[in-house]
Amino acid sequence: MNVIVTGAAQGIGFEICRQMALRGASVLLNDIDEIMAQHAAARIRSEGGNCQILAGDASDVEFIKRLVQTAVTRFGSLDILVANAGITTFGDFFEYQPDSLQKLLDLNIRGNFFLTQQAALQMRSQGQGGRILLMSSVTGQQSHAYLAAYGMTKAALQMLAKSLVTELSPYGITINCVAPGATLTERTLDDPDYTSTWSRITPLKKPATVADIAAAVLFLTSPEAGHITGQTLVVDGGWTSVSPSPY
């Protein structure tokens, strides 16, 4: 399998690349930070995986086209896309500024929309089907204070997956979302209270690991999930069932 994963130099995206590469996939790792991407790919290669990089902005449509073409040139085809790149901005709704919203829309919606389009065009031309996975969030399902704008973009990705079933299914292309809840990553571990807070309010008594999220992605992009499309798989330890606020 030949795979693109965006936003993948660390955290969830990195673990997805790592797990896929160690299972025999050829992975093109994308991140906007080239140095971090190089280190990430080197680590995966040191474990025996086939991982190459193409650094760049996954909100830029011309770069997106180059990303897809690079995967095809290097690996021969594109079989799986994991659209993981995204940004999070917190903000009081009453004070939220246009520039912050525009940055969210450019990457989380516009970039992922056209990345999906370009990947699907390539998969259609190959005639062998494919798998597209969009990374959503529990904030696209449940209210979360100070994340109204971010949650709106993540809900949009869930609707995009559902909407594209009609157009992609005739070509054997499935499209699904994974919606992570609280997850231990380099970014969230900067908060010394993160683990204890989310352990307290998550029914399974702990936040997810990046391996938990990667496992869901691997399933939905596997042959075993070939009859699943238009769906969102929530991986949150039960948080959306009760939804207590961390504040």
Q: What is the pLDDT of residue 113?
A: 98
Query: Is 145 among the domain residues?
Result: yes
Domain with residue 6: its CATH number is 3.40.50.720
Give the integer Cα–Cα distance in Å for 87 and 47. Answer: 29
Report yes or no: 26 and 48 within 8 Å, Cβ to Cβ.
no
Query: Is 136 among the domain residues?
Result: yes
Q: What is the pLDDT of residue 101?
A: 96
Query: Could you report the per-residue pLDDT of 2-45, keeping only the tens digit for each?
Result: 999 999 999 999 999 999 999 999 999 999 999 999 999 999 99
Q: What is the pLDDT of residue 190?
A: 81
> Annotated catalytic residue: which of 65, 150, 162, 245?
150
Give the integer Cα–Cα distance in Å for 145 and 141. Answer: 13
Query: Is 204 among the domain residues?
Result: no
Taking alpha carbons only, the member of 124, 8, 19 closest to residue 77 is: 124
> Annotated catalytic residue: which of 26, 59, 136, 154?
154
Half-sphere exposure of 24 (CA within 13 A, CB side): 2
Q: What is the pLDDT of residue 51?
A: 98
Query: Is 91 among the domain residues?
Result: yes
Range of the domain at 157: 2-183+210-235
Query: Is 240 among the domain residues?
Result: no
Report yes or no: 47 and 72 within 8 Å, Cβ to Cβ.
no
Q: Is the pLDDT of residue 165 over 90?
A: yes
The number of domains in the chain is 1
Query: Could you report the per-residue pLDDT of 51-97, keeping only the tens digit for each?
Result: 999 999 999 999 999 999 999 999 999 999 999 999 999 999 999 99
For 9, list phi and psi in degrees, rounded to 5. -75, -20
Give the integer Cα–Cα distance in Å for 22 and 44. Answer: 8
Q: Is 154 a catalytic residue?
A: yes
Query: Could you report the per-residue pLDDT of 111-154, keeping only the tens digit for each?
Result: 999 999 999 999 999 999 999 999 999 999 999 899 999 999 99
Query: Is 192 among the domain residues?
Result: no
* Average pLDDT of span 235-239: 96
- Residue 247: pLDDT band (50, 70, 90) is confident
